[in-house]
Amino acid sequence: MDIPEGPVYTVLPPSYSEACQCPVYVTQPVTPSTPPPTYREAVFAQRMVQAERSRVTMLSQVPLGDGPTVTICPHCQQHITTIVDYKPGAAAWGMCCLLTLFGLICGICLIPFCLRSLQDAHHTCPQCNRKKRMCIC
């Protein structure tokens, strides 16, 4: 018999896991403590989340009137009741000028500065003290 030429192997090559040196993980089945929700329960939960999001969006977009308003502050995202300060605005000054043109000078032209309906409402957040102006014209 002829001896084959070339290297002679005396040791077997390593197995695949030995060659890769990959760790072997043993997985165990996980038993859930609670059963997964049914389709109906999942849809109900999703709709509740969407309703809550739309309620928050609607509260944050409440138009601010001339009085304290319950809303969500766009700056600090807190559920608040605004604090209102009234300051003379364009409507009060316009009415004062109009009364002056009609000749009502002796203090009567200053009446628009006393009427709340002709003043601008400045809403303030009690949490972060940020202001938002609401013109009541």
* pLDDT tens-digit series, residues 55-68: 555 444 567 777 88
Residue 21 has pLDDT above 70, yes or no: no
Tokens of residue 15, six digits? 């197995």
* pLDDT tens-digit series, residues 24-34: 555 666 566 67
Are 74 and 120 in contact by the 8 Å Cβ rule? The answer is no
Residue 86 has pLDDT above 50, yes or no: yes
CA distance 82 to 25: 59
* pLDDT tens-digit series, residues 42-54: 888 888 877 766 6
pLDDT band at residue 8 using 50, 70 and 90 as cut-offs: low
**Residue 56: per-residue pLDDT:** 53
